[in-house]
Amino acid sequence: MDGKILTSSLVQLKGQELRMIYSLLFKTNIVSLISAKTKDLFNKDVDHFNASLEKEIEKLTHISDEALQIDLFLKLTEIYELKGSQYDSALEIEQKCAEIIQSAHEEMLKDEKEYKEFVHSASDKTALQIMIHYQMQKLFSAFDGKFREFDEKERNNFTEKIHQFLMELPAEKQAQLKEKLNIDDLTNETVRQIMVTQGSVIVLSIIVEVAGFAAYTTLTTAIATSMAIVGVTLPFGVYTFATTLLSLIINPFVLIPLALGGGGWLITRQNKHLRKKLVPVVLLQMTLPLIVGIGHEEVEQQNLQAFIARWQHQREKQNEQNTQLHRLLKEIAFNEKNARALEKKSSEISKDIAHLISEMEHLHRSFKQMIYSIQPGEQSALYTSLLEISASKKEQIASLEVQMMSNSKQSGFWNTLTSAFDKNSYKNEIRSLEKDVEQTENQLVTEFLAMDCAILQSEQQRYAAIQDRISELNHERSDYSKSSIQMRQDIAKLEADLLDVKKELKEHQKRFYGLKDIL
């Protein structure tokens, strides 16, 4: 039943009242609250908390009622870290609202000893009813001191409103009140006198006990009006919030850590605690009008369907993002598989090329041994010239080696020192000549392979075939490499798109608490 009441109250909450409750609960924090109260000390002509609240309410004017209703509902579930649901039926929403009420009830049981004692004396009521009665009792107690300060005219104005309400009650209810208040007549004067002698809190509590929740509308209106007489012009909802907030900011367990320079973690923790303290007040403000009979079932059903439709829109957006995310993951996996296949093929071709190069080098070495066995009659002029150059270079190398050996046999310090420098010079010159010989022999091999000689035909063909195959494989490898690089670039773009979608999804789930719990 509690869940149904809160659901109905939520979807019927509109306009300024909705924005006031939203702002009080989610735009109020410890730092801004203490700041406002501090400013009040220096300028008592302005209620800085109310002024700040009005600014926050103004900021919400461009947001639709339906959007704020959903946001209010989701943030209430987030405060108690309740798991999200589909919310595609009234029953699901009512069940979650019941969880919100139960969580608030359990939090109050943990934090407030007086509430725990109050619950034991009201075991026949639901959690929502108990919270409302308890808060109204606290309000009556807070008001009692103000009532005693009223002058005669202010008391009469207040009791007149109460008396008018009592006169509208059924006769049996009036009789019960007379008995409980121990009076003979329910006149304005007797009500005023008994409130003065016994205290307003006792009288108001008895009225609620007899008349039920319906009495709260009259009593809260009367209290709010009377408080305006003595200078409190806040709406009643703000007044009840302010009473709770004031009790929090004068709490030494809140003030002392902040005064000692509490960091961001501590402030965040205190703000979470503040919101949990304010939830019962929110529930009171939201549900009391419905409990006392204000509301229309037809309008409620229309509002509920609009609420569900708006939530479904957010779910559909998440579904689209998840679909896009899975598509990107699938594309990345597919492209990754293809890229690896291309890279594997390129690697295999590289191995084949390396094997062919090794075989070609082996043939090349054997050709170097054969180039000096070609008969002069079969040699071209260039071939003969290259042989002569090679022979000349080799003779120079041999001469240098002989000279180097001769120098090494000389004795004496100076000769030994000179020989060491000469030896290094000879070695450098020999290395240079050996490179020349290497280049000349490579040219000879090229000429050798170009000769039209039947005895060399098979080796020449094999060498040429290897060269052609290496060229083909290099082209193949180049194509695979280009495709692989392009594939990797495509994967990088897809991964960037994936990060964007993940970020959008995370922000959407953060914006609408509980979405991530829905598969």
pLDDT of residue 144: 79
Helix (H) or strand (E) holding 229: helix 214-229
Distances (CA, A) of 165 to 146, 189, 216: 21, 14, 11
With contact defined as beta carbons under 8 Å apart, do 139 and 240 qualify?
yes
Half-sphere exposure of 245 (CA within 13 A, CB side): 24
Rounded-to-integer distance, Cα 136 and Cα 201, Å: 10
Report the alpha-carbon distance of residue 26 to residue 513 in Å, rounded. Answer: 14
* Rounded Cα gap, residues 74 and 315, in angstroms: 13
Q: For 498-518, b where at least 16 C-beta lie within 10 A, e where not — what string?
A: beebeeebeebbeebbbbeeb
Give how far Cα 151 sits from Cα of 82, 148, 233, 299, 396, Å: 49, 8, 18, 44, 131
Distant-in-sequence, close-in-space partners of 180: CB < 8 Å, separation ≥ 6: 206, 209, 210
**What are the structural domain ranges in the chain?**
319-510
What is the DSSP code (8-state) at residue 82?
P
Whole-angstrom Cα distance, residue 371 to residue 383? 9
Other beta carbons less than 10 A from residue 28's beta carbon = 21
| pLDDT attached to residue 107 | 92
Buried b (16+ CB within 10 A) or exposed e, 58-86: eebeeeebbebbbbbbbbbbebbebebbe
Query: What is the pLDDT, as a whole number, of residue 139?
Result: 78
Per-residue pLDDT of the chain (519 residues; tens, 9 = 90+): 889 999 998 998 888 889 988 988 888 776 666 676 677 667 767 666 777 778 888 999 999 999 999 999 999 999 999 999 999 899 999 999 999 999 999 999 998 888 888 888 877 789 998 988 888 888 788 777 777 888 888 888 888 888 888 888 888 888 888 888 888 888 888 888 888 888 887 888 888 778 776 666 667 667 766 655 444 343 444 445 455 554 544 444 444 444 444 545 556 677 787 788 889 888 988 887 777 655 555 567 788 888 999 999 999 999 999 999 999 999 999 999 999 999 999 999 999 999 999 988 888 777 777 777 677 766 777 877 887 788 888 888 888 878 877 766 665 555 555 666 667 787 888 888 888 888 887 887 777 777 766 556 777 788 889 999 999 999 999 999 999 999 999 999 999 999 999 999 999 999 999 999 987
What is d(CA 440, CA 390) in angstroms, rounded to the nearest whole number?
Answer: 6
pTM for the full model?
0.68
Alpha-carbon dihedral of residues 458, 463, 469, 470, nearest 10 degrees? Answer: 170
Distance (Å, rounded) from C-alpha 99 to C-alpha 108? 14
